[in-house]
Amino acid sequence: MDKEYVEVLRRQHYAVFGEHEHSAAKLCTWLKKSLKNQGVCYKQKFYGIRSHRCLQMTPNIYCNQRCVFCWRVYGPSPDKLPVEWDEPKQIVEESFKAQQKLLSGFGGNPLVDKKKLKEAMNPNQFAISLTGEPTLYPYLDELIKEYGKHGTTFVVSNALLPEVISKINPTQLYLSLDAPDEETHLKINRPAWRGSWQRINDSLEILSSKKCRTAIRITLVKGLNDFNPEKYAKLVEKAEPDFLEVKGYMFIGGSRQRLSIQNMPRHEEVKAFAEQINAYLGYEYGGEQPISRVVMLKKR
104, 122, 155 - which closes a domain:
155
Looking at the fold, whether 52 and 132 belong to one and the same domain comes out as yes
Q: How far apart are CA 280 and CA 162, in angstroms?
A: 26
The answer to whether residues 192 and 64 touch, using CB atoms and an 8 Å cutoff, is yes
Q: How far apart are CA 17 and CA 95, in angstroms?
A: 7
127, 155, 183 - which closes a domain:
155
Whether residue 65 is predicted with pLDDT greater than 90 in this model: the reply is yes
Looking at the fold, whether 162 and 140 belong to one and the same domain comes out as no
Of the candidates 172, 232, 148, 165, the residue with the CA atom closest to the CA atom of residue 46: 172
Looking at the fold, whether 223 and 239 belong to one and the same domain comes out as yes
Whether residue 79 is predicted with pLDDT greater than 80 in this model: the reply is no
**One-letter amino acid for residue 24 of the chain:** A
Looking at the fold, whether 82 and 216 belong to one and the same domain comes out as no
Looking at the fold, whether 194 and 264 belong to one and the same domain comes out as yes
Looking at the fold, whether 4 and 101 belong to one and the same domain comes out as yes
Residue-wise DSSP of 138-201: TTHHHHHHHHHTTSEEEEEE-S--HHHHTT---SEEEEE---SSHHHHHHHT-BSSTTHHHHHH
Looking at the fold, whether 167 and 275 belong to one and the same domain comes out as yes
Mean pLDDT, residues 27-47 taken together: 96
Give tens-digit pLDDT for 206-249.
999 999 999 999 999 999 999 999 999 999 999 999 999 999 99
Quick one: pLDDT at residue 77? 74
* Residue range(s) defining the domain that contains residue 144: 1-155
Give tens-digit pLDDT for 162-187.
999 999 999 999 999 999 999 999 99
Mean pLDDT, residues 36-63 taken together: 96
Residues with Cβ within 8 Å of 189's Cβ and at least 6 positions away in sequence, in order, are: 65, 66, 67, 158, 178, 179, 196
Of the candidates 297, 298, 294, 300, the residue with the CA atom closest to the CA atom of residue 30: 294
Looking at the fold, whether 172 and 271 belong to one and the same domain comes out as yes
Looking at the fold, whether 88 and 150 belong to one and the same domain comes out as yes
End-to-end CA distance of the chain: 46
Quick one: pLDDT at residue 76? 78
Which CATH number characterizes residue 28's domain?
Answer: 3.20.20.70
3-class DSSP state for residue 300? coil
283 bridge partner residues = none
Looking at the fold, whether 117 and 244 belong to one and the same domain comes out as no
Domain count, the chain: 2
3-class DSSP state for residue 47? helix
Looking at the fold, whether 38 and 12 belong to one and the same domain comes out as yes
Looking at the fold, whether 105 and 163 belong to one and the same domain comes out as no
155, 179, 212 - which closes a domain:
155
Q: How far apart are CA 152 and CA 170, in angstroms?
A: 8
